[in-house]
A and B are shown apart, each in its own frame.
Chain A
Amino acid sequence: MLTVLMQFLFSGITVGAVYALVGLGFNIIYNATSIINLAQGEFVVLGGLLMWFFTESVKLPFFLSVILTLLSAGLIGLLMERLTIRPLRGAELLVMIMITVAVSIVLRGLIMFKFGKDPYGYEPFTSGEPLMIFGAVIQQQVLWVLGITLSLIFLVYLFFNKTMLGKAMSACAVNPLAAKLVGINVSKMIMISFVLSAILGAVGGIAITPISLMEYDKGPALAVKGFCAAIMGGLGQGMGAVVGGFIIGILESLTAGYIHSGFKDAVALVIMLAILVFKPSGIFGSKSVMQVRKF
């Protein structure tokens, strides 16, 4: 019994880690711009597939491939902001949502053109015997996913709370006009927020691909789950999305294991609807903050 439960828990935590990264990316962009970027899932896909391209196809060393993948993802995030988000600043909310959807379709089209519809995977970061915890079999890659996710989350926390740049970005989130008045370059901060969340997504993709493989059309589902995580923790509450992501991952895995695998994808949505109905500000959000926000 315990063995099975542990197995489900660990697979839930693994998926949850990726949801957490996507959710965190949502929040970073939301805080800087008040828009939700539904192309967020595409960056996870890009991360996994570009990593495959650099390691398996070009045969570059591991670390160089990681750096190149992250650089490319960051560059695509930057281009997305400069070419589509910036020209539309001040447009209606729905137009902003649609433009991120349109960009995600463009990215998916590009990915499909380059990589086709097949799933891709590569070797785990370290080879070796799987670990046994309470009788559950844990692949080493799972530990990599968790370790990378947690340290990344810690870095993001440090960035926003300890560095000048991060604090400037937080200031933009609270009040863009006031931020401008004290000399913060708001437009630059928005750009950085897109680059940052693109990289976060790509890291998730790089880490998870050896476990679950990656294919061109995984983006939208990841975006929806990551968004549920962000809503659950309270939109704009950075660490809330992380907790939300892990909770959703675990509940999904338990549902698939104990109830019915087909209902797995509904779990995140049902939780999200319940949160929206009973406490729209999320578990960690405060109501007063929500009323101040533009959208």
Chain B
Amino acid sequence: MGKTNFFVLICLGVLVLLFPLVISDSYNLTIGVFAGVNALLALGLCVLMGFAGQASLGQAGFYGIGAYISAILSIKYGLPVALSMVIAAIVSGISAIMIAVPALRLRGHYLAVATLGFGEIVYVLLNELGPGGPSGFGDIPHLNLFGYIFKSSLSNFYLVWCFVLLVIIFSFNLVNSRIGRAMKAIHDSEVASNAMGLDVAALKIKVFILSAIYASFAGSFYAHFVTFLSPSTFSLFQSILILMMVILGGASNLWGAILGAIIITILPEALRKFEELDVLVYGIILTLSLLFMRKGIVPLIIDKLKVEKKHA
């Protein structure tokens, strides 16, 4: 995965390890857990969008499926949480196939809007068929691994971020593998990739499934950490937030997804003091960052470093 990336990974690992030692109040740790959940969501979309060039405005749908299926299986059918999480990921993967196959014929706007439609339908179904309807349901068990129950913010923080680190390693290996190069080829030109003998359709479906599985695990972690679910968490706005994380951080870089996820998680907390102006300030920040950093933060930093190297 390259020297620089390995170095950044180690840095992130150390950061994750030290964070709870420096900031130990459970409120900030909880935000840390959410940042990890968001990082998973953003990584999934980043692989899909930045590398395979497929837009999705429906990631919240997979996020919601992951959360609800895993929660319902563990409450109603008493399955172990870890098993429910895996089953939820499988269900998400299957629904990804259902949306990816027809979406293969679509490009650009049409693909973005088809995925948006999928996400919104899941949202309506959660409202109508989910336990508790629009007001949601609680008492979801925590994750229990080998007798250890992940209940505190601290344990969940380490759990989620360890998973994020593993997913990062997996994603980097994927991106730099034969499949990853094929994905980049599709991103640049589908026609050329086809002509080179790549099975574009099969590859696109696989990437769709992968991003759905990332999102599903994010949802499951969320459900078994918060122990309460309501559909409002999985609305269109969530899909837009996930897209925002990826674009803000830089869609062409996996680190961008992580950074974007952290920024978007912290931003509303930082905007608390604006009270009723928070939505406005939030919108203005998004608008300005799109206007002046349309490539995203991480690619921008990389460009800057390159220029400095040249001058040195």
Contacts and interface: CB of A to CB of B under 8 A. Distances in A.
Contacts of B279: 105, 108-109, 112-113
B121 A266 contact: yes
Nearest to B57: A97
B170 interface: no
Contacts of B124: 262-263, 265-266, 269
A38 B278 CA distance: 21
A110 interface: yes
Nearest to B246: A94
A295 B244 contact: no
Contacts of A220: 236-237
B236 A109 contact: no
A133 interface: no
Contacts of B283: 102-109
A260 to B, nearest CB: 7
A84 B291 contact: yes
Nearest to B276: A113
Interface string B156-187: 00000000000000000000000000000000
A231 B276 contact: no
Nearest to B281: A109
Q: How large is the interface on A (under 10, 10 to 19, 20 to 34, 35 or more residues)?
A: 35 or more
Interface centre among A84, A102, A231 (most CB of B within 10 A): A102
A276 B128 contact: no
A36 B117 contact: no
Interface in B95-135: 102-103, 105-110, 112-114, 116-118, 120-121, 124-125, 127-128
B94 to A, nearest CB: 17
Contacts of B112: 93-94, 97
B120 A224 contact: yes
Contact of A235 (B109, B118, B120, B128): B109
Contacts of B117: 228, 269-270, 272-273, 276
B212 interface: no
B271 to A, nearest CB: 11
B10 interface: no
A68 B118 CA distance: 39
B75 interface: no
A272 B280 contact: no
A87 interface: yes
Interface in A69-115: 84, 87-88, 91-95, 97-99, 101-110, 112-113
A88 B290 contact: yes
A246 interface: no
A164 interface: no
Nearest to A34: B109
Interface residues of B, number: 44
B277 A102 contact: no
B121 to A, nearest CB: 5
A87 B291 contact: yes
Interface in B272-310: 276-284, 286-287, 290-291, 294
A75 B109 CA distance: 27
Contacts of B290: 84, 88, 95, 98-99, 102
B69 interface: no
A280 B113 CA distance: 11
B210 to A, nearest CB: 19
Contacts of B67: none
Nearest to B251: A94
B64 to A, nearest CB: 14
B31 interface: no
B243 interface: yes
B52 interface: no
A63 B76 CA distance: 60
Nearest to A227: B113
Contacts of A94: 49, 55, 112, 243, 247, 251
A182 interface: no
Contacts of A1: none
Given A94-B112, A280-B106, A102 B55 contact: no
B86 interface: no
B240 interface: yes
A27 to B, nearest CB: 12
B286 A270 contact: no
Interface in B228-261: 236-237, 240, 243-244, 247, 251
Interface of B: 49, 55, 57, 102-103, 105-110, 112-114, 116-118, 120-121, 124-125, 127-128, 236-237, 240, 243-244, 247, 251, 276-284, 286-287, 290-291, 294
Pairs of residues from A and B, 9 with the lowest C-beta to C-beta distance, nearest first: A109-B280, A105-B283, A106-B283, A295-B108, A109-B279, A102-B286, A277-B102, A266-B124, A262-B128
22 contacts: A88-B290, A88-B291, A88-B294, A92-B294, A93-B55, A93-B108, A99-B290, A102-B287, A109-B281, A109-B284, A112-B276, A112-B279, A220-B237, A263-B128, A266-B124, A269-B120, A269-B124, A270-B117, A270-B121, A273-B118, A294-B108, A295-B108
Given A94-B247, A99-B290, A295-B108, 12 more contacts: A87-B291, A91-B294, A98-B286, A109-B280, A109-B281, A231-B113, A260-B128, A262-B127, A266-B120, A272-B114, A273-B121, A277-B102
